[in-house]
């Protein structure tokens, strides 16, 4: 798993609406951050042509919560793509506290590329595969 060369980082601010009745960030918020980081990575790195042809849907989320986050914490969602098959890409995301880069949560998400016209699973070009996955 490549966690250094191809990682994309998205800074995130904890909002009051992210806090649950226990006084820390709600677990569902972490999943939203994982998705936001994936979308931001795709938008930043994919060509406009590929963005027009493809969109991505989540097939599966797995997440391990390590430490809580609190209001006013700076957060970094650090994401990268690991292995890929024809229509399944495994994406890893570490949710970090910006101040000390402590791991707050680790996620593994399986994504499927979809053809924007037919709305069916799509194979991606060699360029997309090379940019977003580890052989």
In this predicted model, what pLDDT tens digit does every residue of 68-92 receive, in sequence order?
999 999 999 999 999 888 889 999 9
Q: What is the per-residue pLDDT across 36-51, written as a single tens digit (0 to 9) for each?
A: 999 999 999 899 999 9
Look at residue 135 in the predicted model and tell me its pLDDT: 60
| CATH number 3.10.129.10 is the correct assignment for the domain at 8-132 | yes
pLDDT in tens, 19-33: 999 999 999 999 999
Q: Which of 101, 99, 73, 66 minimizes the C-alpha distance to 14?
A: 73
pLDDT of residue 2: 39
Q: Enter the pTM of the model.
A: 0.90
CA separation for the pair 52, 113 (Å, rounded): 12
3-state secondary structure of 82: strand
Q: Which residue, chain included where needed, has tokens 């998400």? A: 109
Mean per-residue pLDDT for 107-132?
90
Domain boundaries, the chain: 8-132
The candidate with the shortest Cα–Cα distance to 116, out of 58, 54, 39, 49, is 54
> How far is the CA of 22 from the CAs of 47, 68, 93, 114, 117, in angstroms?
42, 10, 24, 38, 44
Enter the tokens of residue 3.
């966690």
Q: Which two tokens stand for residue 96?
A: 């970090």
């Amino acid at each position: 798993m490549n966690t250094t060369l191809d990682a994309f980082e998205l800074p995130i601010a904890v909002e009051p609406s992210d806090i649950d009745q226990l006084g820390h960030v709600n677990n569902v918020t972490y999943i939203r951050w994982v998705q936001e980081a994936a979308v931001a990575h795709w938008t930043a790195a994919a060509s406009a042509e590929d963005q027009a042809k493809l969109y991505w849907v989540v097939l599966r989320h797995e997440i391990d919560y390590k430490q809580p986050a609190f209001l006013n914490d700076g957060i970094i969602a650090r994401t990268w793509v690991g292995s890929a098959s024809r229509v399944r890409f495994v994406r890893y995301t570490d949710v970090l506290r910006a101040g000390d880069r402590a791991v707050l949560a680790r996620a593994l998400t399986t994504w499927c590329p979809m053809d924007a016209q037919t709305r069916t699973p799509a194979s991606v070009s060699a360029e997309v595969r090379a940019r977003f996955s580890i052989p």
